[in-house]
Amino acid sequence: MLHRYVTICCAWALLWAAVTIGVVLGDRSYAGAQGGDLTEIFNARDLTGWDGDTNLWSVRDGAIVGEVEAEHRQQNHSYLIWQGATVRDFELRVTLRSSAGNSGIDYRAEQVHQGRDGQHLRWTIQGYQADIAQGWMGSLYNWGKPGAQPSQFVVVQGQPEATTTVGSVVDKDILYGAGYYRPDQWNEFMVIARGSHILHRINDYPVVEFIDNSSGARAEGLLGLQVHSGRGPQNHQFKDISIKRLTTNFGRAKCLFNGKDLTGWAFSGPEAKDAWAVENGALLVKNDSQAHIYTQANYANYALRFQYRASDKGTSGVALRLRSTQEAQPTKGILIYGSGGDFHRIEPMGGFSLRVARLQVRPFRRMPDGFWNECEIVLNKGELHVTVNGVLRATAAGCEKSTGRIGLQVRSGRAQFRNIVLIPILDLLTKL
């Protein structure tokens, strides 16, 4: 047992000593290298490419305006619907200002042809909705199905009755205290939908994380801007509307950490089992230990997301495609690590093949006090991209294609991990 444990520690130590190749690349967006560029879908002049009731929708000063006059009662929700295509997996950015009333951005939506009183509807849809409403800004409304309120991480699963698990992407008081939405000012909304996983962000703050693995999950549909039913006044303005339609085929997201215990994780040795614990929904190292843990299951291609907090001088790492070359412990794979809470270095382990690109990007961006940092790692066949708080930190190509475990380690200092989510990347012939 002692010999095996020493071998494991030595193998992990070799990771940290490897040398990589340096080249210069640019930044990427949150969704990583999974599709084309962001494409503007509003020309800032007229409603070309959009369909809606022109009594409610117009273009003024380079912005789409949805407006209901004071005392006028809008009978049904009315939408300005994008005619470009249906949306499935995408990254959407919209700059908006709402000065009166209730609105939203619906996506993966279906057409509703008949109202409650039986009248024919032409411009009404229902899908997932990023809310634009006082007190609910950025929440995920799901039209009679489970959704998520600002600050929540929600997982919906089950058939026919859905089971909902609620966590947090940020403390609600901290989110509101940060002024994540600026009333009567321009705000940037971002929606990222990949497989069953959805993110809402406002002004670069995380607002909602949502996984819908229920039988009623919405996979694809229309995109539209809303004027809510009810009495006016309403005034909503939208500009700088752009979308990146992701060509990668994402599947059903999975939480690798349940927030309660270490189910699904294995340990690198007896010391690791004693070093790692769960506290307040987070996976953490109790002491300054070099112990490592890794998933019991193997994974090949995926987007891996997690929130974390790390000490300024500590060094943390994430290992991918770990597999064994001797006995039962992983000794071969890829390590991504950095100090002070950053993940900006990629190293091969045990002869694993890859070509690392060293980036020269703006300095590491740490989230404001009270927020958790976010790391996203996209590993698709031979390509690897690492993003921290929206900034591309490292990338590699020519990665050895294989399945393997996912590991976490803290080499020095303290660190916490939570909301560890894997979004599988499927073969193009496989459906969600």
Predicted pLDDT at 26: 32
Indicate the pLDDT class of residue 327, thresholds 50, 70 and 90: low
Predicted pLDDT at 270: 74
Predicted pLDDT at 52: 96
Q: Which residue type sits at 391?
A: V
User: In 270-402, where do the E strands start and end?
Assistant: 276-279, 282-285, 292-295, 302-310, 315-323, 332-339, 345-349, 355-357, 373-380, 383-388, 391-397
162 against 204, higher pLDDT: 204
Q: What is the pLDDT of residues 419-432, one digit of tens each?
A: 999 999 998 655 44
Predicted pLDDT at 339: 85
Q: Which residue has the tokens 């294989």?
A: 402
Question: Is 90 exceeded by the pLDDT of residue 114?
Answer: no
Indicate the pLDDT class of residue 19, thresholds 50, 70 and 90: very low
Q: What is the mean pLDDT of the chain?
A: 87
Average pLDDT over residues 345-349: 92
Predicted pLDDT at 5: 38
Question: Is 50 exceeded by the pLDDT of residue 296?
Answer: yes
CA 141 – CA 256 distance, rounded (Å): 25
Average pLDDT over residues 220-240: 93
Average pLDDT over residues 18-41: 52
Cα 351 to Cα 183, 332, 347, 357: the distances in Å are 54, 7, 10, 18
Strand order in the sheet with 140-141: 50-51, 78-82, 222-227, 103-111, 125-132, 140-141
Question: Is 60 exceeded by the pLDDT of residue 199?
Answer: yes
**Cβ(242)–Cβ(41) under 8 Å?**
yes
Instruction: Map out the domains of the chain with their CATH numbers.
Output: 2-32+252-424 (2.60.120.560), 39-245 (2.60.120.560)
CA 296 – CA 404 distance, rounded (Å): 9
Average pLDDT over residues 137-151: 95
Indicate the pLDDT class of residue 8, thresholds 50, 70 and 90: very low
Using a pLDDT cut of 90, give the percent of the chain over it. 67
CA 68 – CA 80 distance, rounded (Å): 14
Rg (CA), the chain: 23
This prediction's pTM = 0.89
